Amino acid sequence: KNRSVSNLRAAVICVLGHVDTGKTKILDKLRRTSVQAGEAGGITQQIGATNVPIENIKEQTKIVRGISQTEFRIPGLLIIDTPGHASFSNLRSRGSSLCDMAILVVDIMHGLEEQTIESLNLLKAKKTPFVVALNKIDRLYDWSTMSRKDVRDIISSQGPNTQNEFQTRTKQVILQFAEQGMNAALFYENPDPKTYVSLVPTSAITGEGMGNLLALLVTNCQSMLAKRLMFSEELQATVLEVKAITGLGTTIDCILVNGRLREGDTVVMATSDGGSIVTQIRSLLMPQPMKELRVKNDYIEHKEVVAAQGVKIAAKDLEKVIAGKILSVESGGVVCSGQPIISGLNILVARSPDEVEICKEEVVKDLARELGRIKLQDRGVLVQASTLGSLEALLEFLKDSKIPYSSVKIGPVVKRDVMKASSMLERENQYGTILAFDVKVERDAQELADQLGVKIFQADIIYHLFDQFTAHREQLK
């Protein structure tokens, strides 16, 4: 009800690409520009995301040729931050991607690299439209920097050698896209944005092309995704991370993609024991504008938050909520085919007391559905992890390493899990093993394991689990 193309929400944008192509720098540049532009229309760093309001985009795209003909209809962009060397892969909700559009960053000096191709495959699989930032143009031979100009004019003002190198490298990248079965073209030479992916030359250091990149994101979102971006009151929110914060207790960081959350709302979420919790939102928190997120307790409380936004929820009993969590290569050595994962389960709001039971059933079903997608073997190790994201990453790794798994669970290792593992012992010794990834092992569970001869390997880095298991397997031979 009331959905219309005249009431669009901010588009959720993810940044992907090979390590060191400049993903973080591009976001940094966006934020810094806004500091210079002052508070008005300023970009805010939100929970796990950077919110770029349309006023700011208008300011940054003033230099773009022909922009005066563009009508800005979305309220802004919500760009998901990628920690460390990580990039997102799998922002999911009910099987589809939460991410509306992506920026695939390619280093013009290196062309398509291993993780670029992995990112490409993910985007294809999720059917997520994207634009390419052909980054680091300032590293082209003899590049002369010109600020506050359309990147087309900056390129055509370069010396002949620089222009030559630009053309050669761009052609190379287009060829590499063709090898991946994709048409690509510079955005100003794109014959058909529906079938050709656009390349935007950028420098995250000098800021050249950043205005063009923003303009293209906005126009593509508006022309291709208007329907999808129609604001809906139907809540769509995903838990990214569960975090204990001094003074606030356990909080959850989430991305609100659609609908609204209010202080006092009754929220229902899945828990690691396969059940659900029902709790009231004590406060909706967002960081102070233009302050780094790291500063503790520096949050502003909001009575209401309207999508799309990143927001922190403080409430009672959040400890057992299952997080999606962004897994970065740096933070845990967690690599999922080279790509870390974000995935999360939905948050539901019960608008009336009789909705509570329905919501509880639904979140439990949701979790069961997610876990049900996982294909289990008759013989294999037992796998337990702290979050859905970390579970998926570990399973992906085990698959690649040809280690079969017979059971998966989110949450700590308890006696019941050990019993289950011991029945595997009878079938094949090596699989009487629990791989506990970033989860606690209850003391009585460990004692029982020692009695029964079940091995529990516990680590917060996937490779360590792998090493321990491989050594154990060798020993058994």
Which residues are part of the catalytic machinery? 85
Which tokens hold the place of 135?
Answer: 């980054």
Which of 27, 185, 173, 171 is closest to 110 using CA atoms? 173
Which of 456, 335, 328, 346 is closest to 401 using CA atoms? 335
Q: How far apart are CA 63 and CA 200, in angstroms?
A: 15
Question: CA distances (Å), 466 to each of 85, 335, 376, 400, in order?
Answer: 22, 13, 18, 11
Which of ligand GDP, Mg ion, none does residue 19 bind (CB under 5 to 8 Å by kind)?
A: ligand GDP
Vertex 60 angle, CA 54 and 61, to 5°:
85
Q: Which one of 90-98, 136-144, 174-182, 395-403 is the stretch in contact with ligand GDP (CB under 6 A)?
A: 136-144
CB of 19 to ligand GDP, least distance (A): 5
DSSP structure string for 133-190:
EEE-GGGSTT-----SS-HHHHHHTS-HHHHHHHHHHHHHHHHHHHHTT-EEEETTT-
Q: Residue 178: is the preceding peptide bond cis (ω within 30°)?
A: no
Q: Which one of 12-20, 157-165, 281-289, 302-310 is the stretch in contact with ligand GDP (CB under 6 A)?
A: 12-20
Which of ligand GDP, Mg ion, none does residue 230 bind (CB under 5 to 8 Å by kind)?
A: none
Q: How far apart are CA 241 and CA 343, in angstroms?
A: 10
Which of 363, 324, 326 is closest to 347 using CA atoms? 363
Instruction: Please answer whether residues 356 and 268 qualify as being in contact, where contact means their C-beta atoms are separated by less than 8 angstroms.
Output: yes
In the bound state, the residue with its beta carbon closest to Mg ion is: 24
Please identify which residue in 50, 93, 203, 343 interacts with ligand GDP, judged by CB under 6 A.
203
In the bound state, the residue with its beta carbon closest to ligand GDP is: 22
Q: Which one of 22-30, 63-71, 193-201, 288-296 is the stretch in contact with ligand GDP (CB under 6 A)?
A: 22-30
- By the rule CB under 6 A, 136 interacts with ligand GDP: yes
Instruction: Please answer whether residues 275 and 35 qualify as being in contact, where contact means their C-beta atoms are separated by less than 8 angstroms.
Output: no
Q: How far apart are CA 67 and CA 468, in angstroms?
A: 58
- By the rule CB under 6 A, 85 interacts with ligand GDP: yes
Please identify which residue in 37, 205, 364, 461 interacts with ligand GDP, judged by CB under 6 A.
205
Which of Mg ion, ligand GDP, none does residue 205 bind (CB under 5 to 8 Å by kind)?
A: ligand GDP
Binding mask 274-313 toward ligand GDP (x if CB under 6 A, else -) reads ----------------------------------------
**Helix, strand, coil proportions of the chain in percent (round to 5)?**
35, 25, 40
* Cβ atoms within 10 Å of 162's Cβ, excluding its own: 17
Q: Which one of 61-69, 199-207, 348-356, 461-469 is the stretch in contact with ligand GDP (CB under 6 A)?
A: 199-207
- By the rule CB under 5 A, 115 interacts with Mg ion: no
Q: Which one of 17-25, 92-100, 149-157, 307-315 is the stretch in contact with Mg ion (CB under 5 A)?
A: 17-25
CB of 206 to ligand GDP, least distance (A): 7
Q: Report how many residues bind ligand GDP under the rule CB under 6 A.
A: 16
Please identify which residue in 9, 12, 14, 24 interacts with ligand GDP, judged by CB under 6 A.
24
Instruction: Please answer whether residues 137 and 201 qualify as being in contact, where contact means their C-beta atoms are separated by less than 8 angstroms.
Output: yes
Q: Which one of 88-96, 202-210, 232-240, 380-388 is the stretch in contact with ligand GDP (CB under 6 A)?
A: 202-210
Which of Mg ion, ligand GDP, none does residue 312 bind (CB under 5 to 8 Å by kind)?
A: none
Please identify which residue in 19, 225, 425, 461 interacts with ligand GDP, judged by CB under 6 A.
19
Q: Name the residue nearer to Mg ion (CB basis): 105 or 311.
A: 105
- By the rule CB under 6 A, 67 interacts with ligand GDP: no
Q: Name the residue nearer to Mg ion (CB basis): 87 or 406.
A: 87
* Cβ atoms within 10 Å of 55's Cβ, excluding its own: 15
Which of 364, 270, 366 is closest to 318 using CA atoms? 270
- By the rule CB under 6 A, 119 interacts with ligand GDP: no
CB of 85 to Mg ion, least distance (A): 5
Q: How far apart are CA 132 and CA 117, in angstroms?
A: 13
CB of 389 to ligand GDP, least distance (A): 19
315, amino acid identity: A
Q: Name the residue nearer to ligand GDP (CB basis): 109 or 368.
A: 109
* Cβ atoms within 10 Å of 458's Cβ, excluding its own: 18
Please identify which residue in 12, 13, 24, 255 interacts with Mg ion, judged by CB under 5 A.
24
Strand runs (DSSP E) across 354-420, as ranges?
Answer: 381-385, 405-410
Q: Name the residue nearer to ligand GDP (CB basis): 50 or 283.
A: 50
Point out which residues bind Mg ion (CB under 5 A). 23-24
Point out which residues bind ligand GDP (CB under 6 A). 17, 19-25, 85, 135-136, 138-139, 203-205
